[in-house]
Structures are given as structure tokens and as C-alpha cells.
Amino acid sequence: MILQCASALLISDLHLSPSMPLTAQRFFDFCEKDAPKVEAVFILGDLFEYWVGDDAALQSPFQLEVKHALAKLSTKVKIYYLHGNRDFLVGKYFLSKTGMTLLPDPSKIDIAGSEYVLCHGDSLCTADTGYQVFRSWVRKPWVQKLFLRLPLNWRRSIANQLRSKSGVQYQKAIKSSVDGVQAKTDVTLAACAAVLRDASSNQLIHGHTHLPKHHHEQLQGQDWQRWVLSDWDLDHPESGRPRASALLINQGGVSYADLIKA
């Protein structure tokens, strides 16, 4: 029996941090005003800019504020969480304190009578072989246990180095998409086809790539629809890309909800 709900909002890649106060405030407003209108909220990873352990959150006023907002929301709606590539260390303690339920990546769910496969999206970027090797290592439980035993300042230093490297790669990906060349960091059709074939589904929802769009795709006789979630960034108007949206699914179908104008 797969998870079922009548209506849902799906978000991803908010990258919440104290350095992005406008984006954070929009999330708090989302929890207060938008999210309670549906039965369930799905957060498909990278809610935080980085996460180096649940113990670190106890020392962060900002992360505690996010925790309180989620805990309050969880008394009104169901909240489901998938790990992203930046917050895969969100653990049992934080989940229990917020009332969120962790889902495996990928997960097959039923919303308003239609089935969808949900994932963060980084596992679909199979052309980036270097990242996939890195991902396979950092998702190993024993590697995570060793990392979490390091002093907190060491963990934060490592996270900041990885963020810096990721930022450079992201800018290259944006340039590739502008130039009309598929970025190595984008998903591949073969990976999408495989995850949907394994789940016996033809509808896929993910984040990670920061390239929101509804796609109709096919490969070797297999057809599917794919919705990419938006990242959120209301703090860098100079980039020309203020963005914040959610995917709304209910009896009326699937649509993008613009949270900037809301």
C-alpha cells in the first residue's frame, strides 16, 4: 500500500540559511499561510544550505526557528521529507522534533488518485560520474558516523569547502543551460526512465537542478511526464532570478504555485 493523500504542496531546494533572510521569511510565511491549505507537504531535500548534524542545530538559533515552524505546521498537516545532497545528515532527532516523516529516495506516492515518483534529483544526474562516486561514499552509514564524530568546527569547515566547490559547478551548469548545452549536472533521460520503470510509473517529480519546468519525455518506447521543482532565492535580486514556487497537486491536477506573488 503506497502513501496516499488528497492534496499536496511540494517544495525543494530552499537552501535556508541566516544569510538569506527574505527567503527564510517566505518559508515561515509558507508554513503559516500556504501549507495548511493542503493535506500534506513534501519537502524533497535541500531545505537547508547545509546540515552537519542534528547536534549542530541545537547551537543555531536560526535552525531552531525553522524547527519550531515545522513543528507547528506538523500539527496541521502531514510533512514528508526526502534527503537532499546538502542535508542528507538530517537525522532522527530533528525529524522527531519537527514531526516530519522521512521517505526513501525514490518514493512512489498517490496524490489525488494519481501516482508519482518523488526523489531529490541528484541520483538522476548520472552523466556527472565524479559526483555519483562522491554521493555513493557519503551516503554510506559508516562514513556518516565517522563524520558526525568529528568536532563541530571541523564539520562546518568541510561543509563550507564543499559548498564553495558546488557553487562553482552550479555557475557552470547555468552557463551550459543558457548556451543550449545540456549540463553534466542535469538529469539524464536514461536515469529518469530507469527509476520510473522500476516503480512502474510514468510521472516523476524532483528538485536539485534548479531548472523548474514540466517535461513530456520518452526513451526507447517509454513515455513519461517530469516536473522539476524550483529552488528558492529572494535575497539576490542582482542575479535577475528571484524564485520561489511550489508544485500544487489536487483534484484539479498539477500546477506551479508562484510564491513570490502570493
Q: What is the mean pLDDT of the chain?
A: 91
State mean pLDDT over 67-72.
97
Is 78 or 163 the better-scoring residue by pLDDT? 78
Burial class (CB in 10 A: 0-12, 13-18, 19+), 185: buried
Average pLDDT over residues 128-157: 92
Does residue 68 register a pLDDT over 60? yes
pLDDT digits (tens, 9 = 90+) for 155-182: 989 888 887 776 545 555 444 444 444 5
pLDDT at 192: 98
Sheet containing strand 203-206, strands side by side: 3-5, 107-111, 114-119, 203-206, 222-228, 213-219
Specify the pLDDT at position 54: 92
User: What's the pLDDT score for residue 93?
Assistant: 95
Span of 73-82, 95-104, 167-176, 226-235 with lowest mean pLDDT:
167-176
Q: Domain of 231?
A: 3-258
CATH code (residue 217): 3.60.21.10
Neighbours of 153 (CB within 10 A): 9
**What is the domain count for the chain?**
1
Nearby residues of 33 by Cβ (< 8 Å), 6 or more positions away: 262
Residue 126 CB neighbours (<10 A): 16
User: What was the pLDDT predicted at 262?
Assistant: 58
pLDDT at 242: 80
* Interval 190-219 mean pLDDT: 96
**Run of H or E residues at 161:** helix 152-178
Which cell goes with 101?
A: 516523516
Whether residue 150 has pLDDT greater than 90: yes
Residue-level pLDDT at 178: 45
Confidence of residue 44 (pLDDT cuts 50, 70, 90): very high
Q: Give the helix, strand, coil percentages of the chain, each rounded to 5.
A: 40, 25, 35
- Identify the weakest region by mean pLDDT among 45-59, 93-107, 111-125, 216-230: 45-59
The whole-number pLDDT of residue 172 equals 52
Tell me the C-alpha distance between 85 and 240, whole Å. Answer: 25
CA angle 9, 105, 107 (to 5 degrees): 60
Q: Are 68 and 32 contacting, i.e. CB atoms less than 8 angstroms apart?
A: no
- What dihedral do alpha carbons 160, 161, 164, 168 form, nearest 10°? -160
Lowest mean pLDDT among 124-133, 191-200, 237-246: 237-246
- Which residue would you say has higher pLDDT here, 163 or 186? 186
End-to-end CA, the chain:
35
SS (H, E, C) 26-40: HHHHHHHHHHHHCCE
Q: What does the pLDDT average to over 174-193?
A: 71
pLDDT score of 166: 62
3-state secondary structure of 157: helix
Using CA atoms, how far apart are residues 242 and 193, in angstroms rounded to an integer?
31
202 pLDDT more than 90: yes
